[in-house]
Amino acid sequence: METERYSKELDVAVRLVQMACSLCQRVQNELVGRKRDEIKSKDDDSPVTVADWGVQATVSWVLSQYFSSDNVSIVAEEDIETLSKKDNSSLLESVVNSVNACLAEAPTFGLEGPAKALGIQEVLEAISRCNSNGGPKGKFWVLDPVDGTLGFVRGDQYAVALALIEDGEVILGVLGCPNYPMKKAWLNYHQRYYRLMSNLSSPVYGSWHKGCVMYARKGSGEAWMQPLVHDYGNFDWQNRAQKIQVSSINDPALATFCEPVEKTNSSHSFTAGLAHSVGVKKQPLRVYSMVKYAAIARGDAEIFMKFPRAGYKEKIWDHAAGVVIIQEAGGVVTDAGGRPLDFSRGSLETP
């Protein structure tokens, strides 16, 4: 990393997201087609898995170790209400086991792990520590442990998103996309065959099946992508990371636009009509989660349009990491009125 401000924060964040992706991959491989009892529903009916709580606990614990728990403020999606219920003891045990398995790998990713395995209370405390409301002043981290949980439980696309905000501005963002291939050509293959080949192919550097991690720091004018790795300590990512840029296509007739897979929080018909009105002719790229931001940032698509249905509220953790990456890759992100997204209101309001 460059010896500039926030270089330590970005370095730790990239390594931490790499490690969190490893946890997610293990849980997804166990979850898809099996262990359906490990999927719980929150009040908004979105499923939550061991990975959500596991990643949140892991990120919280590591950030607190590196930047002091007294100085670390984290806005994150999950709480411990469901996890703490007596009838969910087996689920809690699975979360604790996943967290400890992940933290045991910390040295592999160039991070320090705990001297001994964390206990149940320590894991719950780490999850609960992510209770900041953010706001217009001060510095805080924003985490979406598994963005696109429906994609996750279906063996499809999802993302781990971590960002740092200071005085309402996104300073850095890291986006881990475990199922988003390094090579664009593989996007045309059906997910089923993609997963099959992932299990059969040898893990050679740069292989399409490895997934990727993207990251950027505000004002640097650069955004980067590196492959998802499993032996971080022996992997010279500084020499193998690739600089990414948004597409140079400016003709709507040649452009591809992204939109959410689910119709529950976005109007496909409205975006289709808007796309047609500006001359977009290609079929939309529908993917779960902030992977849409990743697609735009590296030029796989040109436009991301999302118009929520009435009553749906956006959360800052659904956008923070992706926004800064696209901006530093040369793109523009605004609301429907052409204004920059507002991250100064923390978790209480939409951006």
Tokens 């735009």 map to which residue? Answer: 296
Q: Is residue 268 very low, low, confident or very high in pLDDT (cuts 50, 70, 90)? A: low
pLDDT on residue 220: 95
pLDDT on residue 197: 55
Minimum mean pLDDT range among 50-59, 118-127, 204-213, 276-285? 204-213
Judged against a pLDDT cut of 50, whether residue 239 lies above it is answered with yes
Average pLDDT estimate for 180-196: 64
Tell me the binding residues.
Answer: 77, 144, 147, 318
pLDDT on residue 2: 42
pLDDT on residue 337: 87
What percent of the chain is predicted at pLDDT more than 90?
47
Judged against a pLDDT cut of 70, whether residue 191 lies above it is answered with no
Which range has highest mean pLDDT (33-37, 193-197, 319-323)?
319-323
pLDDT on residue 252: 82
Higher confidence at residue 24 or residue 278?
A: 24
110 vs 15: CA distance, rounded Å: 7
DSSP state of 132: -
pLDDT on residue 156: 83
Tell me the binding residues for Mg(2+).
Answer: 77, 144, 147, 318
In which order are the strands placed within the sheet that holds 285-286?
A: 285-286, 257-259, 303-304
Q: What is the CATH number of domain 7-243?
A: 3.30.540.10
Phi-psi region of 99 (alpha: psi -120 to 50; beta: other; left: phi over 0): alpha
Higher confidence at residue 182 or residue 158?
A: 158
CB distance 269 to 243 below 8 Å? no
The two three-digit tokens of residue 250, written as one number = 């400016």
Higher confidence at residue 183 or residue 231?
A: 183
Minimum mean pLDDT range among 2-11, 124-133, 239-248, 330-339? 2-11
Judged against a pLDDT cut of 60, whether residue 127 lies above it is answered with yes
- Going from N- to C-terminal start, the domains of the chain cover 7-243, 252-328
Q: Is residue 198 very low, low, confident or very high in pLDDT (cuts 50, 70, 90)? A: low
**Cα atoms in the Cβ-side hemisphere of radius 13 Å centred on 315:** 17
The two three-digit tokens of residue 166, written as one number = 């200071």
Higher confidence at residue 267 or residue 290?
A: 290
State the CATH class of domain 252-328.
Answer: alpha beta
Q: Is residue 202 very low, low, confident or very high in pLDDT (cuts 50, 70, 90)? A: very low
Active site residues per annotation = 52, 149
pLDDT on residue 190: 45
